[in-house]
């Protein structure tokens, strides 16, 4: 059924192209506007687009995207989509926040969803997708504390902004929770929840910094390091690769780095995943069956919007007891028994 519909659309679309016209197609269409990172940014835009592609496969919808080269493109790109045939417009990143809001207010009948941003007060036709990253980071902190031989963990960030520090908060609290439960004294270098100060590379692209920061933390005794700075972390992974995983392990962020960094995959203990694809898929599903309404969709452990990646090669290194404790905590967080933030 779906297949039929979709191929019929393709024929229709091709016919339209040949005629040089752009008629409204009948299939449910999702349009994504990227921020300046572009569709293949190995990050938010790409992951969100994966959600659209998943929806395409599962529900037989149509999807297309517009890339923005500059901030001035946002409004223009949104305007050009509004004149078209999009049933849902997905925008990505806080930079598009204002442009999306303006377009939504001007076009109350058009449904919008924005990834990694939300509005307060709520805009009735925008669904914001945000992530309780600290839930997964909390698990990672507990895991790392349990795995550390030196009882010292390390963390550093790209820039001191909430989307980064939320990882660090969760990670530190997870380790603290471990100490509380076990009466241990595992310490985390690189972030202080109280003073909101810590280690930051102040960029998201220098692999050298990733290496140097990890080296510093390693020199201070850390044997597991969490770099929260996008590609910078690849530099840390290279160091771990040289030192050997018995001396230094890395925890990835955003995606499962075991899969996206195959060369150094053996150094990753796990990854704290932000499943933008899952929340986008969920949003599309809601829009299709008309349960869509403005507000906030929080990606959390409960709905698979954030998660801890599998241990892959390190499966055997992680004690079974620790695994069952993690499962317990996970259930606790989902049920609300364990608070990851005060």
Partner 1 sequence: MNETQQTMSLNHLLKAQRGGRSRFEDLVVVPIFAVIVALILGALIMLATNVEPARIAQSYVALLEGSVGSLNAVSETLTAAAPLVLAGLGLALGFRAGLFNIGAEGQILMGGMAAVVVGFSFSSLSPMALLPLSLLAGALAGALYASIAGALRAATGAHEVITTIMLNLISYRLLDYMLRLPSVQKEGRADPISKSVPEAAELPRLLSAIDPNLRVHAGVFLVLLAVVVVYWILFRSKIGFEFRASGENAEAARFAGIRSGIVIVAAMATAGALAGLAGANQVLGVLGRATPGFSAGIGFDAIAVALLGRSHPVGVLLAGLLFGALEAGGRQMQVDAGVSIDLIGIIQALIIVFIAAPLLVRAIFPWGFRKTTGREG
Residues forming the site for partner 1 (CB under 8 A): 17-18, 20, 22, 36, 38, 64, 66-67, 69-73, 75-77, 79-81, 84, 94-95, 98, 106, 120, 159, 161-163, 202
Instruction: Report the residue number, 98 or 180, with the smaller CB distance to partner 1.
Output: 98
State how far the Cα of 301 lies from the Cα of 58, in Å rounded to an integer: 22
* Min CB(89)–partner 1 separation in Å: 13
* Min CB(185)–partner 1 separation in Å: 32
Instruction: Report the residue number, 153 or 253, with the smaller CB distance to partner 1.
Output: 253
Inter-CA distances, 141 with 52, 170, 174, 186, 187, Å:
31, 7, 4, 10, 11
* Min CB(184)–partner 1 separation in Å: 33
Instruction: Report the residue number, 64 or 337, with the smaller CB distance to partner 1.
Output: 64
* Min CB(151)–partner 1 separation in Å: 32
* Min CB(105)–partner 1 separation in Å: 11
């Amino acid at each position: 059924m779906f297949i039929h519909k979709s191929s019929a659309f393709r024929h229709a679309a091709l016919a339209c192209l040949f005629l040089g016209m752009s008629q409204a197609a009948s299939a449910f269409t999702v349009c994504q506007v990227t921020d300046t990172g572009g569709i293949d940014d190995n990050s938010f835009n790409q992951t969100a687009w994966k959600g659209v592609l998943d929806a395409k496969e599962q529900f037989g919808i149509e999807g297309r995207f517009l890339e923005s080269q500059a901030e001035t493109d946002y409004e223009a790109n949104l305007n050009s989509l509004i004149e078209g045939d999009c049933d849902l417009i997905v925008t990505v990143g806080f930079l598009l926040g204002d442009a999306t809001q303006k377009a939504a207010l001007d076009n109350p009948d058009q449904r919008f969803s924005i990834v990694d941003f939300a509005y307060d007060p709520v805009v009735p036709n925008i669904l914001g997708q945000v992530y309780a990253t600290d839930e997964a980071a909390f698990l990672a902190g507990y895991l790392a504390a349990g795995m550390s031989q030196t009882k010292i963990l390390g963390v550093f960030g790209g820039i001191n902004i909430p989307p980064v520090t939320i990882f660090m908060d969760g990670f530190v609290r997870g380790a603290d929770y471990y100490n509380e439960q076990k009466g241990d004294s595992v310490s985390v270098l690189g972030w202080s929840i109280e003073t909101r100060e810590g280690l930051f590379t102040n960029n998201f692209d220098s692999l050298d910094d990733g290496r140097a920061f990890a080296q510093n933390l390693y020199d201070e005794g850390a044997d597991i390091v969490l770099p929260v700075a996008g590609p910078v972390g690849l530099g840390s992974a290279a160091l771990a690769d040289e030192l050997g995983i018995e001396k230094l392990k890395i925890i990835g962020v955003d995606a499962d780095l075991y899969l996206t960094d195959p060369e150094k995959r053996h150094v990753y203990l796990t990854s704290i995943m932000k499943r933008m694809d899952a929340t986008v898929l969920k949003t599309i599903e809601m829009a299709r069956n008309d349960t869509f309404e403005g507000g906030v969709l929080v990606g959390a452990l409960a709905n698979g919007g954030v998660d801890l990646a599998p241990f892959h090669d390190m499966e055997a290194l992680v004690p079974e007891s620790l695994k069952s404790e993690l499962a317990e905590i996970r259930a606790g967080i989902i049920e609300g028994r364990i608070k990851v933030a005060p």
